[in-house]
Chain A
Amino acid sequence: MSAVASSAAFRKLRLRNFRNFAELELSFPPAGVAVIGDNGTGKTNLLEALYYLEIFRSFRGAPDEQLVRFGEEVFHVRGVLDGAGSAREIEAAFERRSRRKRVAVNGAEPDRLGDALGGVGVVIFSPADMTLVAGAPGDRRRFLDIVLSLNRPGYLGALQRYRQILKHRNAMLRSGGSDALLAAWDEGLAEWGGRVVAWRAEWIAEIAPGFARRYAAIAGGQTARVAYASSVPLGDTPPGAEAAAEAFRAELARLGPRERERGMTLVGPHRDDLAILLQRDGGEAELRDFGSGGQQRTAAIALRMVEAETVRSARGREPVVLLDDVFAELDPGRSGRILELLEDEERGQVILTAPKESDLELRRGSLAHWRIEAGAVLT
């Protein structure tokens, strides 16, 4: 536990009208806590509130309206954090009627919401992570975009610019503008798209060995790997932004006529994927299509672990780790090996949930235990 001093850690949380919590105030032990309760009592909602202070959105993808307690108008989430020697306060509020969101860090509203992103330094492991592996390419792009927005300064701005240009260009393709007009959008698309692609490819190359190592450790011998599946041909090594833009330009020129026919942009980071490949005799197979439930869960957990590694290196401190019932539906062998890895790697605050006490061997049972019942937490 000696690393806790350089860790992010929740000290306090206050909720008002968030999901099933009318009013809740909690003080967290520095090492963390295990929250135990039946399904439907609000365990995941509690973690959702904590993670809300990192990205100001639901980690489950729920719209803000759904986070307001039934029959109420406004929710508030306020967290007090330790880390880097000073206490910080992050708060967020959302009003249903006006759909207005207010975010403040140490009492001051940032100019842009994006400036306040990633203020906690937290990674969440959840059963919903299955969709990272088994879901559609869009689910994996969302994962990449969140990780990189939080840990690579400039990524979010480039991505937003790319998306804006893409919308214009698609409108242009649908309305059948001239070649000169289309070319005016191609340049920006290639430039900003090239940056997005380069950032993603570089990050995936960086985490690939760590992913493979953790997957093998959990799966007990089987191996899997990650790669960036780009719609623009990139070659084997991650390209720089300029080379990616160059390749992107060439593809746009090649696909021009077909794009006009289809009325949409057919190539670019909005069509890419994070490939997760299972290695077996005679070749590789997409884990999404050919993996078992256990293999898919293993890959999802390995992805979250490399995300934690990225937070650690990008922000120079231990992330808070939120574990939402992660051992559900895993065989005892895999659960045990995951536990060992987490125990070994995650040295910061851990806040975990489980339906029953027996699932809680993390930190050798040293974590404080809280019970949760229908919107109330007994500490």
Chain B
Amino acid sequence: MAVIDDLTGELSRLPGIGRKTALRLTYYLLKRPPEEIQRLARVLEAVAEQVRPCSECGNLSEHDPCAFCANPRRDPSAICVVEEAADIGAIERTGQYHGRYHVLGGRLSPLEGINPEDLNIAALLRRLGNGSVVREVIVATNPSVEGEATALYLQKLIGPLGVRVTRLARGLPVGGDLEYADGVTIAEALAGRREL
């Protein structure tokens, strides 16, 4: 029983996985052919061994520098700052952005004791330092209260360096129904309305 319990224990430490789901996943895996479980184990091992934060931007990658930092066709004059490496995928899928990235690895949250020194901010300032070609920093942190405060903090830090600092617009989701949007979102969209 012990290894089965170990597996359930490990799975239940994943976000969004409770005790019950962990048990279900465990017994699902136990019913699969052994090769399939071994394949999963090898992938996990490879990820643990090879994936590291990029020393330039903090993106998670098996190469250092990562594919974005190493790609000469990516515009070096723009940096898009995101909270997590996973956010890069969301922006890439738009196909509208061709600059570089910077991953903070979280956002400011005094309640959880997350301070600027816990985030990848020093490396960002280094990228904007002497001889930098960066002309614009786009802050793409989440529109949560923590993400907004992080954006403002970065703006106060970066603004004086003479770099343009911009923020993603807030508003209604495209394809969303006005009737179903929450009050805060509608208020934001109203405040940020444009001339037609």
B149 contacts A175, C-beta separation under 8 Å: no
Within 8 A of B (CB), among A330-378: none
B182 contacts A184, C-beta separation under 8 Å: no
Known: A154-B186, A168-B109. A184 touches B152 (CB 8 A): yes
B19 within 8 A of A: no
Which one of B116, B149, B150, B184 lies within 8 Å of A157 (CB-CB)? B184
B132 within 8 A of A: no
Which one of A157, A172, A185, A188 lies within 8 Å of B187 (CB-CB)? A157
- Contacts of B148 on A, CB cut-off 8 Å? 187-188
Within 8 A of B (CB), among A168-203: 168-169, 171-172, 175, 177, 180-181, 183-185, 187-188, 195
Interface SS, B side:
helix
A156 within 8 A of B: yes
- Number of A residues near B (Cβ < 8 Å) is 27
A158 contacts B187, C-beta separation under 8 Å: yes
B111 contacts A168, C-beta separation under 8 Å: yes
A181 contacts B116, C-beta separation under 8 Å: yes
- Contacts of A161 on B, CB cut-off 8 Å? 145, 184
* Chain A min CB distance to B112 (Å): 9
Which one of B110, B115, B152 lies within 8 Å of A187 (CB-CB)? B152
A168 to B110, CA, bound (A): 5
- Contacts of B111 on A, CB cut-off 8 Å? 167-168, 171
A195 to B186, CA, bound (A): 14
Residue of A nearest to B111 (CB): A171
A27 within 8 A of B: no
- Contacts of B152 on A, CB cut-off 8 Å? 183-184, 187-188
B153 contacts A180, C-beta separation under 8 Å: yes
- Contacts of A177 on B, CB cut-off 8 Å? 110, 115
* Chain A min CB distance to B190 (Å): 9
Within 8 A of A (CB), among B96-139: 108-111, 113, 115-116
A112 within 8 A of B: yes
Residue of B nearest to A152 (CB): B183
* Chain B min CB distance to A228 (Å): 21
A171 contacts B184, C-beta separation under 8 Å: no
B161-196 CB mask vs A (1 if < 8 Å, else 0) is: 000000000000000000000111011000000000
Residue of A nearest to B185 (CB): A157
Known: A175-B110, A177-B115, A184-B108. A168 touches B149 (CB 8 A): yes
A153 to B157, CA, bound (A): 36
A296 to B186, CA, bound (A): 39
B183 contacts A169, C-beta separation under 8 Å: no
A313 within 8 A of B: no
Counting from the closest, the 7 A-B pairs by CB-CB distance are A154-B183, A157-B184, A184-B153, A171-B110, A157-B183, A172-B110, A184-B152
9 A-B residue pairs with CB within 8 Å: A112-B182, A169-B110, A181-B153, A183-B152, A183-B153, A184-B156, A185-B149, A188-B152, A195-B187
Q: A157-B184, A168-B145 are in contact. List 17 more A-B contacts (CB 8 A).
A: A114-B182, A115-B182, A153-B183, A154-B183, A157-B183, A161-B145, A168-B110, A169-B110, A171-B110, A175-B110, A177-B110, A180-B156, A181-B116, A183-B153, A183-B156, A184-B108, A188-B148
